[in-house]
Structure 1
């Protein structure tokens, strides 16, 4: 099994409250996983 390509996650959510930040990052990672990538 090959490793998925990794994509660095960046965006304005770094300035959001911790809980909101985590929710957004989790959704980005989920979408990337569905597309065959790994969000880092």
Structure 2
């Protein structure tokens, strides 16, 4: 099991993943549901 991330680590993960998804699929495809699924929360 992965150790719990700090608030700053989680924010960085969310931002990095959001930007990657927007680049891959376009900004309209980035939803909170898709983002949560991608990062596993």
Question: What TM-score range do you get, normalising by the shorter chain?
Answer: 0.5 to 0.7
Q: Which has the higher contact order (CA 8 A, sep 6+)?
A: 1
**TM superposition outliers: structure 1 runs of 4+ over 3 Å:** none
- Structure 2: 5+ residue stretches without partners: 33-41
TM-score of the pair, normalised by structure 2: 0.53
* Structure with the largest fraction of helix: 2
Q: CA RMSD in A?
A: 2.4
TM-score of the pair, normalised by structure 1: 0.54
